Chains A and B, each alone.
Chain A
Amino acid sequence: KNQVEQSPQSLIILEGKNCTLQCNYTVSPFSNLRWYKQDTGRGPVSLTIMTFSENTKSNGRYTATLDADTKQSSLHITASQLSDSASYICVVSEGSNDYKLSFGAGTTVTVRA
Chain B
Amino acid sequence: DAGVTQSPTHLIKTRGQQVTLRCSPKSGHDTVSWYQQALGQGPQFIFQYYEEEERQRGNFPDRFSGHQFPNYSSELNVNALLLGDSALYLCASSWTGAETQYFGPGTRLLVL
Contacts and interface: CB of A to CB of B under 8 A. Distances in A.
B90 interface: yes
Question: Which of the listed residues B41, B42, B43, B106 has the most CB atoms from chain A within 10 Å of its own CB?
Answer: B42
Main secondary structure of the interface of B (DSSP, over half): strand
Contact of A103 (B42, B48, B100, B108): B42
Nearest to B91: A43
Interface string A88-112: 0101000001111101111000000
Contact of B90 (A44, A46, A91): A44
Nearest to A108: B40
Q: How large is the interface on A (under 10, 10 to 19, 20 to 34, 35 or more residues)?
A: 20 to 34
Contacts of A44: 43, 90, 103
Contact of B56 (A49, A89, A97): A97
B100 A105 contact: no
Contacts of A103: 35, 42-45
Contacts of A36: 103
Contact of B42 (A45, A99, A100, A105): A105
A43 B42 contact: no
B19 to A, nearest CB: 19
Contact of A104 (B42, B90, B104): B42
Nearest to A46: B100
A106 B55 CA distance: 27
Contact of A100 (B35, B56, B101, B108): B56
B57 to A, nearest CB: 10
Contacts of B104: 43
A42 interface: yes
A4 B100 CA distance: 19
Interface of A: 4, 32, 34, 36, 41-46, 49, 89, 91, 97-101, 103-106
21 contacts: A34-B99, A36-B103, A41-B105, A41-B106, A42-B105, A42-B106, A43-B4, A43-B92, A46-B102, A49-B100, A89-B42, A97-B56, A98-B99, A99-B55, A100-B56, A103-B35, A103-B42, A103-B43, A105-B42, A106-B41, A106-B42
Given A99-B55, A103-B44, 11 more contacts: A34-B99, A43-B105, A43-B106, A46-B101, A98-B99, A99-B31, A99-B48, A101-B101, A104-B42, A106-B41, A106-B42
